[in-house]
Structure 1
């Protein structure tokens, strides 16, 4: 269970760490998996999530968040460890005011580390129902257009370059 688990009462959850991962899950054909937020219907995104503790390795954060939010297990026969790549991209952005209460007082910015994960198109997706309402596989440009987050859209637009297809 993640310390940011929505099942924990807000008063017992420690503040979120303002360092997170963004994982662009995609197929070899550059179809991108997007998930719709349960707390903000109509807001579509890739997998995101903060570190559980300051020393948590970013790759482990990415693996954990992918499993928690989609049920996809990195390191399985279907999705080997090598399918997860750190793109070396970092975004620093202002945290939306609606979500600032999750962080320590005075925290206004987050550093996001971008990863890509290549998966088979027919992989099963099992959403965390308290976090996400539905998912969709979209061509990469269409996926970028649907994202509410500018940094998420920009990461998806980097997909062909990151895959060496630009």
Structure 2
């Protein structure tokens, strides 16, 4: 088994009205999140973001506006998922992107990863996600888009 790289992306998919798409994990009941995933090989982080959005939602990023926030944070990898990383790796660096969709596109979930999805207002979305770094990024969304919400 190849280990995951401790370098990942977080992609906030949202409408212009700041409704945010959240996905519920299959392996962690009531754990809502934005699109996330680890870089593979030497792919550019923007390609990781595009690939993960496609794999997890079926949304084609070429039809929407993908923004690299040039912002990242480090977090401790949850113990339940450390076996996916090389021995001794406990920290991941997460790079944030956002994807603006003009209206809610059809969502096709990756059945092995997520069980359901919902669109919610950004403030509620920040309260729903289980990951502190995901919540922080969602709370920054209005500011990053130049909105005073």
Match of 1:84 in 2: 66
Match of 2:49 in 1: 62
Match of 2:31 in 1: 43
Q: What TM-score comes out, normalization by structure 2 length?
A: 0.97
- Distance in structure 2 (CA, Å) of the matches to 1:14 and 1:24: 27
Match of 1:164 in 2: 146
Q: What TM-score comes out, normalization by structure 1 length?
A: 0.87
Q: Which runs of 4+ in 1 moved over 3 A?
A: none
Q: Show structure 1 runs of 5+ residues with no match.
A: 1-12
Matches within 5 A, 1:12-161: 13-53=1-41, 55-76=42-63, 79=64, 83-161=65-143
Shift of residue 75 of structure 1? 1.0
SS at match of 1:90: strand
SS at match of 1:159: helix
Q: Do the aligned residues in 1 keep the contact of 2:15 with 2:104 (CA within 8 Å)?
A: no
Q: Which deviations, in whole Å up to 9, do the C-alpha atoms of 1:53-104 show, x marking residues without a partner?
A: 1x2100000000000000001113xx2xxx0001111110000000000000
Q: Show structure 2 runs of 5+ residues with no match.
A: none
Question: Could you say what the CA RMSD is over the residues aligned between the two structures, in angstroms?
Answer: 0.7
